[in-house]
Amino acid sequence: MAQLDSASPSEGEGCPFEPGREQIFPSTPEGDELGMRAAMVLAERAQATGDVPIGAVLAVDGRRFDAWNEKEARPDPTAHAEMIAIAAAARALGRWRIGGILYVTKEPCAMCAGAIAAARIERVVFGCHDPKGGAAGSVVDILGSDVVNHRVAVTGGVLADETAEQLRAFFVAKRRLERWSSG
Ligand code: ZN
Active site residues: 82
pLDDT, position 4? 42
Q: Find the 80 Cα to ligand 1 centroid distance in Å.
A: 5
Q: Find the 29 Cα to ligand 1 centroid distance in Å.
A: 24
Judged on CB neighbours under 10 Å (0-12, 13-18, 19+), 17 is: middle
Q: Find the 117 Cα to ligand 1 centroid distance in Å.
A: 13
Q: Find the 50 Cα to ligand 1 centroid distance in Å.
A: 17
Q: Find the 19 Cα to ligand 1 centroid distance in Å.
A: 31
Q: Has this prediction a pTM greater than 0.85? A: yes
pLDDT, position 181? 84
Element (H, E) at 111: helix 110-118
Q: Rounded to an integer, what distance in angstroms lies between the CA atom of residue 138 and that of residue 68?
A: 22
pLDDT (tens place) for every residue of the chain, 183 residues total: 334 443 344 444 444 444 456 789 999 999 999 999 999 999 999 988 899 999 999 999 999 999 999 999 999 999 999 999 999 999 999 999 999 999 999 999 999 999 999 999 999 999 999 999 999 999 999 999 888 888 999 999 999 999 999 999 999 999 998 888 886
DSSP of 53-84, one letter per residue?
--EEEEEETTEEEEEE--TTTTT-TT--HHHH
Residue 90 CA from chain centroid, whole number: 15
Look at residue 7 and give its three-state secondary structure: coil
pLDDT, position 177? 87
User: CA quadruple 13, 17, 115, 134: dihedral positive or negative?
Assistant: positive
